[in-house]
Structure 1
């Protein structure tokens, strides 16, 4: 389980596990960013536009009217929030509170939803954003 003592055992196994998890999450995010602009395209349209090899680099998309290259979608966001919920469930188990990932993942999805509908913090003076 992500975040559990078992996965973080001494001897380097924990770091290898974490590295694999990070690699999976990064690979999923990259695939999401590559595929987002063409998500609903047909195979024929993809081949006509990109050739038989398909999409091989980040292409410009206009999700909110502004050009963006390589942006992830809600698919990646939901993956990350799911992992966050699983980590919380693992922590609860490690503290002897039982293991049931449904509640922590459910609450993680509520937190994700808040990021979609509530205003973010104001931009920092002199900083990005």
Structure 2
């Protein structure tokens, strides 16, 4: 192992996202009041919820993240076709949870992802969901070259989300991730990358918006949790207890928190319960080797 710390961060990012997803999947679409009445303050990955998850089961957030990762791993120079193939293979398994925008894009896809995304935006009158932000992290993990990372980050977003606010959020997110992979302190990394963006005015205060699937609301909450929490556990637990789109907010915030803390600092009570941990282990190592040029 040439750089144990880099590997620990890459693996922490993938696991952090999956843990936030699995923990928040229990409380998705609930209100904070409903969560308190049923669970008190949820701290454990127990499954259930609207999707009737098995304990340790993840949702579309993690599975699409792995699709992006595997597409990049198979063809780092031109991953779009392979990412799309991974998406469609996953879609054909009839997953429990899939966002409305992404489902519509899949239905429209006839060989041109950008055309399918544009048609979906036109039909729905919107495509500003969080479905590309939730899965963009592998581009930051895979590419050490910033311009290459940004090219793939934007491309994977544009495949399904026509609204430029989605690709903008993905770029900010992965620039933060790139800083964390280099060892920068998390609050410094966030403040540096939101400076001059629409998010700069919001990060110092608790969001006054719902924890919804709208990409701007989702990202505001994820950034707030990262700035407001003292450790990885607090980030993903706060996300889960928000309700709303808690699995996606948990996945997005958990990915950055996992990079910053590193895999070794993530409690085994979280990492060991994930049903796809072997898959995460494999992809983590392959992303690490790709980043090193092996």
Name structure 2 gaps, 5 residues minimum. 96-294
Q: Does 1:76 align with 2:62?
A: yes
**Deviations 1:12-34 (Å, cap 9, x if unpaired)?**
13x54333222211111111111
Q: 1:57-72, aligned counterparts within 5 Å?
A: 57-61=44-48, 63=51, 68-72=54-58
- Of 23, 40, 51, the match for 2:12: 23
Shift, 1:57, TM fit? 0.8
CA distance in 1, matches of 2:94, 2:85: 15
Residues paired across the two proteins, number: 94
Root mean square deviation, CA, Å: 2.6
CA distance in 1, matches of 2:44, 2:83: 33
Shift, 1:56, TM fit? 0.4
Q: Which residue of 1 aligns with 2:2?
A: 12
- Of 24, 34, 40, the match for 1:35: 24
Q: Does 1:105 align with 2:83?
A: yes
Answer yes or no: is the 8 Å Cα contact 2:23–2:47 preserved in 1. no
Task: Report the 3-state secondary structure (helix = DSSP H, G, I; strand = E; otherwise coil) of the residue aligned with 2:75.
Answer: helix
**Deviations 1:85-126 (Å, cap 9, x if unpaired)?**
121232xxxxxxxx2332221122122223338xxxxxxxxx
Q: Per the alignment, do residues 17 and 104 of structure 1 end up closer, same or farther by CA in structure 2, a change over 3 Å counting?
A: farther
Q: Does 1:86 align with 2:76?
A: no
Moved more, 24-33 or 67-76: 67-76
Task: Report the 3-state secondary structure (helix = DSSP H, G, I; strand = E; otherwise coil) of the residue aligned with 1:33.
Answer: helix
CA distance in 2, matches of 1:110, 1:60: 25
CA distance in 1, matches of 2:55, 2:19: 11
Shift, 1:69, TM fit? 1.9
Name structure 1 gaps, 5 residues minimum. 1-10, 91-98, 118-129
Larger helix proportion, structure 1 or 2?
2
Task: Return structure 1 stretches of 4+ with deviation > 6 angstroms.
Answer: none
Shift, 1:60, TM fit? 4.3
Task: Report the 3-state secondary structure (helix = DSSP H, G, I; strand = E; otherwise coil) of the residue aligned with 1:44.
Answer: helix
Task: Report the 3-state secondary structure (helix = DSSP H, G, I; strand = E; otherwise coil) of the residue aligned with 1:46.
Answer: helix
Task: Report the 3-state secondary structure (helix = DSSP H, G, I; strand = E; otherwise coil) of the residue aligned with 1:40.
Answer: coil
CA distance in 1, matches of 2:92, 2:47: 27
Computing the radius of gyration over CA atoms, which structure comes out larger, 1 or 2? 1
Q: Per the alignment, do residues 12 and 30 of structure 1 end up closer, same or farther by CA in structure 2, a change over 3 Å counting?
A: same
Task: Report the 3-state secondary structure (helix = DSSP H, G, I; strand = E; otherwise coil) of the residue aligned with 2:92.
Answer: helix
TM-score by length of 1: 0.58
